[in-house]
Structure 1
Amino acid sequence: MRCTFLHDVYLAIAIFLALWVLYAPLAELLFHVLHITSIHRGDELKRDVTLTFDDGPDPEYTPQMLDLLDAHRVRAVFFLIGEKATRYPELVREILRRGHLVGSHTAHHRNAWFLTPWQTFREVRMAAAMIERVTHEPVVWFRPPWGRFNLFLPLALRSSGQTPVLWSIAGRDWLKGLQISAIAERIAKRFHNGAVILLHDSGGAPGAPANTLRALEQILPVYREMGFQFTADPVLYAMKAKTKRNGSFPRVSQRLIHPLWRVWEKLFDRLYSVYPMSRMFRLSLVSWRLGPRPEAGLIDGVKVVEIHLQNLAVQELQRVKPVERMAIRGLREVRDSLHDVALALLYDKRFQEGQAIFGMTMIHRGMENLGFHVEDIPDTLLNRWIKFLLSLIMSLYHPEGRKRFTHGLEAMHPRLMWMSREELITRYGPGAAKSLRATQQAMAEVATSQPPDMEP
């Protein structure tokens, strides 16, 4: 009898745990890790970044944060706890008066993993009602505490017209004993186009928001110098742009395969620390393995910055007609992006070691006139693999798809493009005069050639 009872108890516990895993951790995987229905980053082609602040408003730290953001011309998103918004309505109105956006962070900052479905709906609706009574505007943004989801939270948000906003960079500024430099370092290590950065203007360890203030004082001037804009709305823009881009492929096969390929690209970038840092280029710091270049002081093993094309940017360029206009616009965007790359080598700690920039690409016509050294690369097994990848990406992004293979692909081959650090900064660094004649020559040469293709 006793054994049967214990068996039933253990079985009940096992069933309960299995159901809870489906209810909470599985939902976390779907909606947080895989970002189904949620937003976590802005447009990777734009040098816009969104600062977000959770757990406020706070009568001590929120006014200081607002003053700091004003001083650096920053517009942010504040995710408010409903009961705090009710307690400090003037602070909420001041946030809006300063030009920032507000969203909901639930009514009582409760973990969705441990809420029943009824409690989940109640937290979402109650928080929205509390905030709307102060702002007289509908709440459209929502951030779950700790980023936690259960299976019913997306339904509750959908029914109330709210979009979940997560983050691509977490400052972890709420931790006890975290130094100011550690917060700044965590942000700097993963900084990128379209970043959504999670910070706090309230809560956490005692005095933690003061560290956040000091960390922002350190990093905001640096990224302003690099040309980044801190705005409140790139996430909304990116959501619309993403829908437009995913629906812009002319072929059914491209529309089917492209989402899977984008997942692979994101995984590749994550594994190899590749960051979108300009409209045209993603950057990564690697070791040079292509032999000595005495004129530039390059030897195998020195750190260099590898540039990868932003394939979505090139895809957008290919819709520009006629081809001459496309080529001119493309060269201008490459030129402007090289300025951004030069600033990254000067100011971004991740890339300051770089002694040169380089890439392997099929897009090399006219690149010498932009300052690149363009060389043949050996016909090795690795380089054949690179050519295959370039061809595959072309079929995914090019408007003609695989038909592009039959129009001169056999004559195309990847080449090495590189530019020394000194050459890059002299030509494209702060205050450097752009060589208009060289750019015009490059534009003329590319305008008479075939449309550009793609690279990884």
Structure 2
Amino acid sequence: MFYISTFYAFIPALVSRIFGFRVFRRGKSEQEFALTFDDGPDPVYTPQLLDLLKRFDAKATFFVVGINAEKHPELLKRMHDEGHLIGIHNYVHKSNWLMRPVTVRRQIAQTEAIIRRVTGKGTAFYRPPWGIVNFFDISKMNGRRIVLWSSMFGDWKARLGAKQLAERMLKKLRGGEVMLLHDCGTTLGADEEAPQNMLIALEKLLMVAQERQLRSVRVDTLFCQPVHVSATGEITGTGWFKSVLVFGWLLYERIFHTLFRLRPVSKEDTIFYYRRRTYHGPNVNMENGRWLKKGDPIVELHFDNKMLFHLGSSAKSIVHLAIQLIRMVKQQLPDLAHQLGHDSGMKGVKALYAVSMINRGPEKLGFQIQELPKGLFKKASTLYLKLLFSIIHPSGPEKLSEKKEVMVPKLIVMPIDTLFDRFHQGGSYQTDPTPDSTNQPDVAHMLHSEVHEEVSSIQTTVRASQLADTGSKQLT
């Protein structure tokens, strides 16, 4: 859950706020700035605000909450008729971090339907509540433009007072600025009477702006680019998106590895990291009378996502990616066995443990594949691993869509004595007596032949699956 919440929410928010990635925060004009108002329309304050803007011939952008717009369509129509831009602020004022992607899309669609019904036009502009974006907000917006801000003043609190608010606003009065204000005080954390102070301060701001020959314009005017809502189109430039997202994600992962003291199996080009943990899941039958039970010490394996990304970028297919992974894991399991065998802190561990969506083939290495029990952990693991796969493979989203039935996370377990029996060469750390070396097959030859067997096994499985699905399509 720590991984998922960070990948879903923290990293996208960080990337959008710090780098301005896929969001509009500031214009480049020297004489124009943008006033934006969130949370309305409000039956008390929005009419006063519209009167004030009309008096100074100022244009603004209103990010409306759908449920409020639905209650006051006459205010929505007036905004449109008087030349202001209307954007979306969700149907209810709820953080996107607390909603599933499908729920966010539904909130946006509901609000746009209200705007279109009242004004006859849709909108391409969106501001998430509190400016908090999630992974899907900045990856798939179907042509919409996310608008944040360059200056915020705390105008939702009445105790700030009109005078202090005006001082704060005047300090930020310059060309290109996108100012965040509120024409409604009924949302969580706001004071109901706070917009009255905002109106007083705004009047002062507009007077000074007039003296300085600065003009308040709509966001789309400041943005200086035509933006249209596409029925089927998606935002272009996914290469930049993936590059920035992967950079932030891998940076976070390094922090995660440090915090939780994960160790690399190999100093160079490691395929996974590991740590000792206590098992908390349901009992797992590891065969031959061995069980993994709650409270047992285990070695938890984590794939190195930087390596996964590089492998996925060069992989021609899911099969190709799986084959590369099997080869690398096979090569590094002896290193893992050696480290565990010589690490006193790892004594007593009962099994290797991992959860992976690429789980075809590791049986040849001594792993056992188990279904994850239904529940929150399975749902969370599925979400995280799908997000991961959509990043590590160039056509990840398409593959996930095509292979829903096979791209399912599963539990991968190996008894620790199986690891030592198969891969440890350290004599005294063997769990069984060391066999006569003259009877041992050449290790390199054994690994080579097993890889070929595994490749054959995976290709046969995929061919059978594809033939069953299409009747004719062959694996390339």
TM-score, reference length from structure 2: 0.45
Larger Rg: 1 or 2? 2
